[in-house]
Structure 1
Amino acid sequence: MSPLTALREIFALGGPVVAILIAMSVLTLAVTLYKLWQFAVCGVGRHKVLSEALAAWDAGDQNAARAKLAGSKSYLAPIVSAAMDASGVPGADDRLDAEASLVLAGLERGFRLLDTVAQLAPLLGLFGTVLGMISAFQSLQAAGSSVDPSVLAGGIWVALITTAVGLAVAMPTSMVLSWLESRTARERVFADKALRTVLVPGPSITSAVGTDAVSVATEHA
């Protein structure tokens, strides 16, 4: 049996609800592939050169930091460059935070759609099952006293197909969405740290944080 024939049989058994769920799964796959391509092009999670530039800036070597930043392909590089140019300007941190939030919002585009599919697919599947059960019991009532249990069982399992398809669509969509959200959350933390490193540089701050951490650990020891 060819995949196309099997798909037609599923459509025939599940009705329009299964057709809607299959369409949702195709849309989800398209959005997922687009997000993977977008993350790869933007270099999400790949900030080695940018981290080296931030380390050089934090150490006070601004020339080396700018030189390394010029070789970074990270989507955050323009924002970090703007932060370096605006270092010491009053109110620059708020503007830069807004710019970073705008860029990160671009990475989150499509998340709402995936979330909608993950929540709606099981409900659509359940809706199709309820409709199928209603039809099965109507057939049972019409049969009267001459009820064939196999007909009732066949109607029930056909009705349950929509629930199975709904869960099959929702579960991988939810997993993909969780993975994308976790990657974006890490990017948000890195972007915030990068901006704060540029706007408030200096090894003394890092040393102070390390000293405080040691002091807290000593007090609790």
Structure 2
Amino acid sequence: MSTEANSTASDEAVTAASNADPAATTDALSSAAPVTDPTQLPAEPMVNALHDSAVAPTSMLDTVTGWLVVGGPVVWILLAMSVVALSILLIKLWQFNLPRPEGSRAVNRSLSMWHKGDAEGAIAQLNTRQTVPAVLLLAMRGMRNGTDQTLLREELQRVGSYRLNQLKLLLRPLEVIANLAPLLGLLGTVLGMIEAFQQMESAGSRVDPSILSGGIWQALLTTAVGLAVAIPVVAIHSWLERRVERIAASLNDAVTQVFTHQPKPQHSAKVANAA
């Protein structure tokens, strides 16, 4: 009996399954199956992902722009000063590295020939584009032509001072920027703190700590920008100033050697004169 009942129940289940709606069965299977077609993905998450990928690269630019807006005119002035300092740096790098004011190799070769008595060869090694060789060339020509040494020294001092002043050109603006940048940053901080405390006063007893903290970081932003501009400018100015001092020392040493080491006539020249 139990076996017949079980077989009857199985037959009824099979019949019910066969009589079921095929469309409903298909819908149930399609809803249960995972979606693999990208075109069937929801549109909103895809749009959000594209928006995030487009905004991410410009986040740094937005941050800098926000700082410029928050910092106010002080940050804009510091930014302009940094552009001026960068321009001066590029000009001085070209001036110090392209012509090479020291001209060490040419000066050493020229002085070596001068000490050996080859005045013409020593003069031929020098040019007027570089600072030290140009002044040294003037000194050697004056000594060769027998110019009065007092007058020659005065002329050399004039030309040397002019050449060194050309190298010192634009160093003064760098020094001014290095001195003013921290002061401007401090001024922006003081103005920002005044504004923050004014907001606290207007809030009365309902003081929100976020108001004070926001005002403080906005005020300190100008100090940070001022220091960021001043520190590299101070380093660059010191390096350029030291470079000018080294060139002045090389110039003084080379000209002194022209006066203290008179050219000795070569042996061949003596023999030719004796003949």
1:143-198: CA deviation from partner (whole Å, max 9, x where unpaired): 11100111101100110000000000000000000110111100000011111111
User: What is the SS of the residue equivalent to 2:162?
Assistant: helix
The aligned length equals 203
Give yes or no for contact 2:102–2:132 (8 Å, CA) kept in 1. no
Q: Which residue of 1 aligns with 2:120?
A: 63
**Whole-angstrom CA distance in 2 between matches of 1:140 and 1:183:** 52
1:142 aligns with 2:199: no
Which residue of structure 2 lines up, in the alignment, with residue 38 of structure 1? 95
Shift in Å at residue 4 of structure 1?
4.3
Does structure 2 conserve the Cα–Cα contact (< 8 Å) formed by 1:45 and 1:183? no
Corresponding residue for 2:137?
81
* CA–CA distance in structure 2, aligned partners of residues 45 and 15 of structure 1: 45
| Residue 90 (structure 1) shift | 2.9
Do structure 1's residue 13 and structure 2's residue 73 form an aligned pair? Answer: no
Which residue pairs with 2:106 in the alignment? 49
Q: Distance in 1 between matches of 2:223 and 2:115?
A: 55
The answer for the alignment partner of 1:217 in structure 2 is none
* More divergent stretch after superposition (165-174 vs 5-14): 5-14
**2:164 corresponds to:** 104
Matching residue of 1:23: 80
- 1:60–1:201 Cα contact (<8 Å) kept: no
SS at match of 1:44: coil
Q: Distance in 1 between matches of 2:134 and 2:94?
A: 20
Measure the CA separation in 1 of the matches of 2:210 and 2:62: 25
Contact kept? 1:14, 1:159, Cα under 8 Å: yes
**Residue type of the alignment partner of 2:137:** S
Question: TM-score by structure 2 length?
Answer: 0.69
* Paired residue type of 2:139: A
**Structure 1 vs Structure 2 CA RMSD:** 1.9
Bigger RCO of structures 1 and 2 (CA < 8 A, at least 6 apart):
1
Deviations 1:59-105 (A, max 9, x none): 333233123236x8633322211111212523211220121110011
When residues 3 and 165 of structure 1 are mapped into structure 2, their CA distance, relative to the original with a 3 A threshold, is: same
TM-score of the superposition, structure 1-length normalised?
0.85
**Structure-to-structure mapping, 1:59-208, within 5 angstroms:** 59-69=116-126, 74-87=130-143, 88=146, 89-91=148-150, 92-202=152-262
Q: Is contact 2:101-2:247 (8 Å) kept?
A: yes
| CA–CA distance in structure 1, aligned partners of residues 61 and 261 of structure 2 | 61
- Select the structure of larger CA radius of gyration: 2
Contact 1:115–1:174 (8 Å) recurs in 2: yes
Instruction: Return 5+ residue gaps in structure 2 as ranges.
Output: 1-57, 265-275
Contact map agreement 1:47 1:74 (CA 8 A) in 2: no
- Taking the aligned partners of 2:121 and 2:60, their CA distance within structure 1 comes to 58
* Contact 2:102–2:250 (CA under 8 A) maintained in structure 1: no
